[in-house]
Structure 1
Amino acid sequence: MVKMLIDGALVDTARHMDVIDPSDESRVAQVPDAGTAEVDQAVAAAKKAYPAWRDATPEARGAVLVAMAQVVTDNLDELCQLLVQETGRPLGLAQFEIAHLAAGYLNYYAGLRIAPEILVEDDTRRVEQHRKPLGIVAAVVPWNAPVYIACNKIAPALAAGNTIVVKTAPSTPLTTLRLGELWQDVVPAGVVNILSGGNEAGAHLVSHPDVAKITFTGSTGTGRKIMEAASPTLKRVTLELGGNDAAIVLPDADVKAIAPAIFAFAFFNSGQVCAIIKRLYVHDSLYDAMCAEIAAYATGSKVAGGRDPEAQFGPVQNKAQYDKVLDYLASARASGTIIAGGELPDGRGYFVPLTVVRDVKEGDVIVDEEPFGPILPIIRYTDIDDVVARANASPYALGGSIWSNDAEAAAKIALRLESGSVWVNQHCALDPAVPFPANKQSGSGVEGGLEGLYPYTALQILNIAKPQAA
């Protein structure tokens, strides 16, 4: 059984949680179920380790991050197999998350440096701008991309000079805990602490008085609760929450040319990504053709457990989300016309076929809300100004995209969208060097790039008066 990493030691608990394979609903492992005592131990360890880590040179901290990334790479096969077990996703997708995203973000932040800036220099004074670490960071990680998102929080926190306590999602703790075990010998004790546990551990961690910052990825509802928990001590908070990303296909687009990419960006990880296409708006002149193309791709794809070498898409990750997706499937059936998928397979596992629904509109649940599963509504429009207004009417504003043969014209329309990220002829193009902000109820703050390092720091201004001649 894998254990938690606290203060450089591997720690078990009296309570344990089951890890379920969503492909067949079997138990694949048991992991520790941390409570308030383990959270207190982890925070105390992070607090003890903080002064030395804060005072280490950026080069020394970067070297540790590089070593952490190398551990990821050296143990890729084992980590991918664990991720396949707990998520059910195909092996190729597990490899992409761990080798490309997790290791990539660790290496990227290992090389970032924040140098002091001279704001004013004259005969009377010198004013310097410095960025200092905050202290202890609490990172709460979701179940849909557990290793990538953990590393996307660990990397900037450590690069800035903070120490961190990571709380994994209850249904996907296995791979991240194992990574903590592998990091035991390369990370100074207490700098990184990784816990598994449920709501008790999460609630205690985000409200802990010694935590200076919370970084959370998950639902908007939970994000609101975290903001409340942070308020008594005014903790810094970065929230990357739900999305209902709109993609708009302009009338000059080549349907056959763009349909494969739109399909891929709509159903990536079986729809379980916050910043993929959730609403596809297609001009009336292309509507029928686009519906037919997307439906054909969905019908021709294989949904199966990750151990099946032919699997292209996996199951919904957990039972609670599976039940929610089934409710959205019923709503899609009631409000529109299902042209692919829609019928559940026999047998065990949380499998939902890739489902495409047309003839829907705003006001339908499947359009207004985020299924976070493999269901794509395709909505008709005729006027550009109208469709931009409809896309912006959502309370969510994480990402959006415009698809056209004229990239420059599309870019002008893209800038009218209110989402934090806008793409042209692509979607969810994540890059560690590119900031990824969240607007409206999709969150607050920014991740990625140098802008994603700043929220892990406190701004300090040093203002020095120069001696004046008598």
Structure 2
Amino acid sequence: MVKMLIDGALVDTARHMDVIDPSDESVVAQVPDAGAAEVDQAVAAAKRAFPAWRDSTAQARGDALAAMARVIADNGDELAALLIQETGRPMALAQFEIAHLAQGYLNYYANLRIEPEILIEDDTRRVELHRKPLGVVAAVVPWNAPVFIACNKIAPALAAGNCIVVKTAPSTPLTTLRLGELIKDVVPAGVVNILSGGNEAGAHLVAHPDVAKVTFTGSTGTGRKIMEAASPTLKRVTLELGGNDAAIVLPDADVKAIAPAIFAFAFFNSGQVCAIIKRLYVHESLYDAMCAEIAAYASGSKLAGGRDPEAQFGPVQNKAQYDKVLDYLAGAKASGTIIAGGELPEGPGYFVPLTVVRDVAEGDVIVDEEPFGPILPIIRYSDVDDVIARANASPYALGGSIWSSDPEAAAKVALRLESGSVWVNQHCALDPAVPFPANKQSGFGVEGGIEGLYPYTALQTLNIAKAAAA
């Protein structure tokens, strides 16, 4: 049984939780189920470790992050295998999360430095701007990309000089806990603490008076609750929440050229990513052709558990989300025309076939809401101004994309979208060096880039009067 990392030690609890393989619904492991006591221990450990970590050099902190990345590289096969067990995803996708995303973000922040800025320098004064660490950071991680998002929060928190308590998602704790075991001796005790647990642990952590900042990735509903819990102590909060990303295909686009990428960006991780294509708007002149292309790709894809070497797409990760996706599937059948998928396979596992629905519009639930599963609505439009307005009418504004044979013209259209990130002829092109902001009810704050490091710091101005000339 894997254990939690608290204050440099591996810790078990009296209570345990089952980890379910969503590809066959079997119990593959049990992990600790932390409560308030374990949260208190982890926060106290982080608080004790903070002064020394804060006062360490940026180089030492960067070296620790680089060492964590090397541990992941050295144990990549084991971590990917564990990730397959708890997510059911294909091997290539598990390896991508471990080797590219998790390592990439750790290595990027290992090399970032924050230097004081000189704002004013004259004969009378020198004014400096400093960015100082906050203290204890609480990171609440979702189930769809558990290791990547944990590292995406650990890296800037530690680089800025903070200590961190990571709370894994209840249904995907296994790989991140194992990572905690592997890095136990890489960072000083208390600097990184990793807990598994349910709602009790999460609620206690985000409300803890010794936590200075909460960083959360997950649903908008849970984000609202975290804001409420953070308000009594005015904790800083970064929220990366739900998305209902629109992709707009302009009338000059080459359907056959762009269809493979649109398909990939719509069904990546079986639709379980916040910033992938959730609504595909296609000009009426290309509508039938695009529907046919996307449906053909969906119908020709292999859906299976990650242990199947031919699997291209895996199951929905947990039963609760599976039931939600089935409700959206029923809504899609009622409001539109299913042209691929739609019928559930027999046997165990939370499998939903890649489903494409056409002849839908705003007002249909499958268009207005985010299914967070493998269902793509394709929506017809005739006027560019109108489709921009329709795309922007959503309360969500995480990402969006424009597809065209003229990238420069498409870029001008893309800037009219209100989402935090906009792409041209691509979607969800995440990069650790590129800021990833969220707008509207998709959250606030930013991750990625030097801008993603700043929210883990507090500003301080130093204003020095110079001696008057004799």
TM-score by length of 2: 1.00
Letter in 2 for 1:410: A
Alignment map for 1:343-362 (pairs within 5 Å): 343-362=343-362
In the TM superposition, what is the alpha-carbon distance from 1:187 to its structure 2 partner? 1.1
Letter in 2 for 1:240: E
Letter in 1 for 2:346: D
- Per-residue CA deviations over 1:241-274 (Å, capped at 9, x if unaligned) read 0000000000000000000000000000000000
1:318 correspondence with 2:313 = no
Select between 282-291 and 459-468 the one with higher mean Cα deviation.
459-468
Separation in structure 2 between the aligned mates of residue 469 and residue 77 of structure 1, nearest angstrom:
67
Separation in structure 2 between the aligned mates of residue 116 and residue 75 of structure 1, nearest angstrom:
37
Letter in 2 for 1:452: G
Q: Which residue of 1 aligns with 2:95?
A: 95
3-state DSSP class of the match of 1:360? coil
Q: Which residue of 2 aligns with 1:410?
A: 410
Alignment map for 1:263-412 (pairs within 5 Å): 263-412=263-412
In the TM superposition, what is the alpha-carbon distance from 1:97 to its structure 2 partner? 0.3
3-state DSSP class of the match of 2:359? strand
Separation in structure 1 between the aligned mates of residue 158 and residue 389 of structure 2, nearest angstrom:
41
Separation in structure 2 between the aligned mates of residue 202 and residue 364 of structure 1, nearest angstrom:
34
Letter in 2 for 1:7: D
Letter in 1 for 2:69: A
Separation in structure 1 between the aligned mates of residue 52 and residue 185 of structure 2, nearest angstrom:
17
1:257 correspondence with 2:257 = yes
In the TM superposition, what is the alpha-carbon distance from 1:297 to its structure 2 partner? 0.1
Alignment map for 1:106-185 (pairs within 5 Å): 106-185=106-185
Letter in 2 for 1:348: P
Separation in structure 2 between the aligned mates of residue 185 and residue 199 of structure 1, nearest angstrom:
29
Separation in structure 2 between the aligned mates of residue 377 and residue 281 of structure 1, nearest angstrom:
9
Q: Which residue of 2 aligns with 1:44?
A: 44
In the TM superposition, what is the alpha-carbon distance from 1:352 to its structure 2 partner? 0.1
Letter in 2 for 1:278: K
Separation in structure 2 between the aligned mates of residue 12 and residue 131 of structure 1, nearest angstrom:
37
3-state DSSP class of the match of 2:202? helix
- Per-residue CA deviations over 1:413-459 (Å, capped at 9, x if unaligned) read 00000000000000000000000000000001000000000000001
Letter in 2 for 1:241: L
The number of residue pairs the alignment matches comes to 470
Letter in 1 for 2:316: V
3-state DSSP class of the match of 1:164? strand
In the TM superposition, what is the alpha-carbon distance from 1:467 to its structure 2 partner? 1.2
- Per-residue CA deviations over 1:95-132 (Å, capped at 9, x if unaligned) read 00010000000000000001001000001100000000
Separation in structure 1 between the aligned mates of residue 151 and residue 378 of structure 2, nearest angstrom:
34
In the TM superposition, what is the alpha-carbon distance from 1:469 to its structure 2 partner? 3.3
In the TM superposition, what is the alpha-carbon distance from 1:53 to its structure 2 partner? 0.2
In the TM superposition, what is the alpha-carbon distance from 1:185 to its structure 2 partner? 1.2
- Per-residue CA deviations over 1:372-423 (Å, capped at 9, x if unaligned) read 0000000000000000000000000000000000000000000000000000
In the TM superposition, what is the alpha-carbon distance from 1:468 to its structure 2 partner? 1.1
Alignment map for 1:16-35 (pairs within 5 Å): 16-35=16-35
TM-score by length of 1: 1.00
3-state DSSP class of the match of 1:267? helix
Separation in structure 1 between the aligned mates of residue 187 and residue 462 of structure 2, nearest angstrom:
32
**Which stretches of structure 1, 4 residues or longer, exceed 6 Å deviation after superposition?**
none
3-state DSSP class of the match of 1:170? coil
- Per-residue CA deviations over 1:29-52 (Å, capped at 9, x if unaligned) read 000000000000000000000000
* Structure 1 vs Structure 2 CA RMSD: 0.4
In the TM superposition, what is the alpha-carbon distance from 1:341 to its structure 2 partner? 0.1
Q: Which residue of 1 aligns with 2:430?
A: 430
Separation in structure 2 between the aligned mates of residue 107 and residue 234 of structure 1, nearest angstrom:
31
Separation in structure 2 between the aligned mates of residue 247 and residue 303 of structure 1, nearest angstrom:
24
In the TM superposition, what is the alpha-carbon distance from 1:4 to its structure 2 partner? 0.0
Separation in structure 2 between the aligned mates of residue 412 and residue 45 of structure 1, nearest angstrom:
50
3-state DSSP class of the match of 2:123? coil
Q: Which residue of 2 aligns with 1:240?
A: 240
Letter in 1 for 2:405: N
1:53 correspondence with 2:53 = yes
Of all paired residues, the percent bearing the same amino acid is 89
Separation in structure 2 between the aligned mates of residue 65 and residue 109 of structure 1, nearest angstrom:
8
- Per-residue CA deviations over 1:263-318 (Å, capped at 9, x if unaligned) read 00000000000000000000000000000000000000001000000000000000
Separation in structure 2 between the aligned mates of residue 80 and residue 124 of structure 1, nearest angstrom:
59
Alignment map for 1:443-458 (pairs within 5 Å): 443-458=443-458
Separation in structure 2 between the aligned mates of residue 252 and residue 119 of structure 1, nearest angstrom:
48
Letter in 2 for 1:103: Q
Letter in 2 for 1:328: Y
3-state DSSP class of the match of 1:83? helix
Separation in structure 2 between the aligned mates of residue 67 and residue 297 of structure 1, nearest angstrom:
41
